[in-house]
Amino acid sequence: MRQLPCTIVALALVGGAGPDLWARASRRDVQLITGSARVARGGVRRARGAATHRALVTAVWRWVQPRLSAAGGQRRLKRRLSRRVRKLIKRYRTRKVSRAGRQVTVLLAVTVDEPALRARLRALGARLKRPGVLMLAHCDDGHLAPALTQALRSMSVRVVAGPWPAQRRAAMVQAAQSRPAAVQSWARKAYAAAVVVAWCETRTLSRITAAGVTGVRSKVVAEAYAPQGPGRARRLLRLEQVGLGHHVDVKKAGQAALAQALGRLAPLLGKRMPPSLPTGLTRTVLVRLRGPLGLATLVRLTRQIRVQVQGIHRVKPRRFGRGVTWLAVQTIYTPNRLQQILTTVRPPPGWLLRVGKGPQPGTVDVTAELAEDS
């Protein structure tokens, strides 16, 4: 029996569905998904059902694949998700059905049900990655992206590279300068909650001495954006640093100027970026606070932790006990990194703090003691 090909094109809107879902089906944030299914002659209805099922599986997998923390076992996971794929879809609508000869084409608009999909992945034992920061940096020396990436990673910020080749990143940086809203679609494809766009500008100055020493001025600019919806992005911060280089060789003078500007910008980005990150990059770490603290001292200490530590968004008491208070700290840091950073917090006058590992894995223990001279 001859087999007829059936091809489907699905428009998948990943995320929540608003009242204007179908009106937005032609916007740039819509993913185009193609699939194929072979059916017997005359079974157009069965072909349409099989193609629709495959399109829904593809839409779900487009959401899942960039979020998986482990690369192994993806084929088995995709097969298990396809068994109940209709329960993972919030809604879908057939936009167009056409047939040209032996080929049937179906156009769908699909919305993935994120809460149901996350619950299904947890039941299957799949681990999802946390969203990261997409780094798009271009400079002639090639040291801009590694230096900024290292500065963010030193602050426990996960940096993602994205699926684009290195040759395309220069054009993407130029596009972001003229049209910042373009970062919204890039952030979705790379599973990033923020995008850092950085570039450098170099200008040769006149000769300084008769010996031929030339001065070069370099400026390094870094901008951070957070996607705000279809075709929109909010700028989180903008940093600029200038460096000067002097050498007989113009190329070496330019390298010295870029190194100076980058040496100033990288630490500043690592310090200013964490507090500006959206809540999608934060995690909640439980901190056990022990000691004979009064209510006023407890409130003052929690306020100092939030103000003094960069990268902590909120400190909220969760549970009270006799001499023990559990705090829910919303931060970008891992528990081990948070434990190290809390040692730098200045306690209220007359108190000392000792920081260690908590009673359960992933928790931190802080003990407040009265100072001897108090």
End position of a domain, from candidates 220, 247, 279: 279
Q: How confident is the model at residue 320 (pLDDT cuts 50, 70, 90)?
A: confident
Q: Cα separation of 261 and 279, whole Å?
A: 30
Rounded to an integer, the average pLDDT of 43-47 is 76
User: How many domains does the chain contain in total?
Assistant: 3
> Is the per-residue pLDDT at 240 higher than 90?
yes
> Is the per-residue pLDDT at 48 higher than 70?
yes
Same domain, 287 and 365: yes
3-state class (DSSP) for residue 70:
coil
- Mean pLDDT taken over the chain: 78
CATH code: domain of residue 314: 3.30.70
Q: Are 260 and 252 in contact (CB under 8 A)?
A: no
Helices and strands in the chain, H and E counts = 9, 14
Q: Are 51 and 8 in contact (CB under 8 A)?
A: yes
Which token pair is 205?
């100055």
Same domain, 246 and 142: yes
Rounded to an integer, the average pLDDT of 181-194 is 82
Same domain, 172 and 290: no
Same domain, 229 and 331: no
3-state class (DSSP) for residue 185:
helix
Q: How confident is the model at residue 229 (pLDDT cuts 50, 70, 90)?
A: low
Rounded to an integer, the average pLDDT of 225-247 is 83
Same domain, 90 and 224: no
Q: Cα separation of 164 and 187, whole Å?
A: 12
> Is the per-residue pLDDT at 20 higher than 70?
no
End position of a domain, from candidates 233, 262, 279: 279
Q: 105-117: per-residue pLDDT in tens? A: 777 888 888 888 8
Domain span including residue 256: 132-279
Same domain, 14 and 147: no
Q: How confident is the model at residue 373 (pLDDT cuts 50, 70, 90)?
A: low
Q: 327-341: per-residue pLDDT in tens? A: 888 887 778 888 888
Same domain, 245 and 198: yes
Report the 10 Å Cβ neighbour count for 222: 26
Among 178, 145, 143, residue whose Cα is nearest residue 164: 145
Same domain, 38 and 146: no
Which token pair is 155?
């602050």
